[in-house]
């Protein structure tokens, strides 16, 4: 049976952005476990319980996926396409969190089923506030969909 955990899957290849995100979560009192996937393949392995995450129960899904677009191995849009094409993961909330200002990326993200598209603020305090609001909405206020059975 598929069930949601309180885990946040952070798909981000930039080590500085990973640390910044973790610091912002801590400052915003978001205590959810954060699993970091440094590339698109690792993110899909985590969701499927394969490869580097073989043995992980693929029926336990993250509460939220924060997805960068410019990733090694498999880019963020292809990761999103794969998430939405899998009946197990198609309802997992996916927020694109990227520095891309390209309108085509934003439109493609929504066309592929992203729940939200957020540009990473450059200023740390603005980033903390954006992270706090993301956490409050997606982890507290948002009604999660019933998982597929």
Q: Does pLDDT of 24 surpass 70?
A: yes
* Residue 8 CB neighbour total at 10 angstroms: 24
Note whether residue 90 is domain-resident.
yes
Note whether residue 145 is domain-resident.
no
Mean pLDDT of 63-85: 97
Note whether residue 71 is domain-resident.
yes
Note whether residue 84 is domain-resident.
yes
pLDDT per residue as tens digits for the range 111-136: 999 999 999 888 888 988 888 888 88
pTM over 0.85: yes
Residue 147: what pLDDT?
57
Query: Using 50, 70 and 90 to split pLDDT, how confident is the model at 142?
Result: confident
Domain count, the chain: 1
The helix or strand, by DSSP H or E, that contains position 85, with its residue range, turns out to be: helix 76-85
Note whether residue 33 is domain-resident.
yes
Containing structural domain, residue 108:
3-139
Which of 59-73, 92-106, 126-140 is least confident?
A: 126-140
Q: Which long-range contacts (CB under 8 A, 24 or more apart) does 26-33 make?
A: 27/128, 27/132, 28/128, 28/131, 28/132, 28/135, 30/131, 30/132, 30/135, 30/139, 32/6, 32/7, 32/8, 32/63, 32/135, 32/139, 33/5, 33/6, 33/7, 33/8
Higher pLDDT: 37 or 127? It is 37
CATH value at residue 116: 3.40.50.2300
Query: Using 50, 70 and 90 to split pLDDT, how confident is the model at 8?
Result: very high
């Amino acid at each position: 049976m598929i069930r949601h955990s309180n885990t946040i899957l952070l798909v981000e290849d930039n080590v500085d952005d990973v640390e910044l995100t973790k610091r912002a979560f801590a400052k915003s009192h978001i205590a959810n476990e954060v699993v970091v996937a440094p590339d698109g393949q690792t993110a899909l392995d985590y969701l499927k319980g394969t490869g580097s995450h073989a043995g992980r129960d693929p029926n336990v899904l993250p509460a939220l996926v924060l997805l960068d677009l410019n990733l090694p191995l498999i880019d963020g849009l292809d990761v999103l396409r794969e998430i939405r094409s899998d009946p197990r993961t198609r309802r997992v909330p996916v927020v694109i969190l990227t520095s891309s200002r390209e309108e085509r990326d934003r439109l493609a993200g929504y066309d592929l089923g992203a729940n939200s598209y957020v540009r990473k603020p450059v200023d740390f305090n603005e980033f903390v506030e954006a992270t706090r609001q993301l956490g409050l909405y997606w982890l507290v206020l948002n009604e999660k969909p019933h998982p597929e059975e």
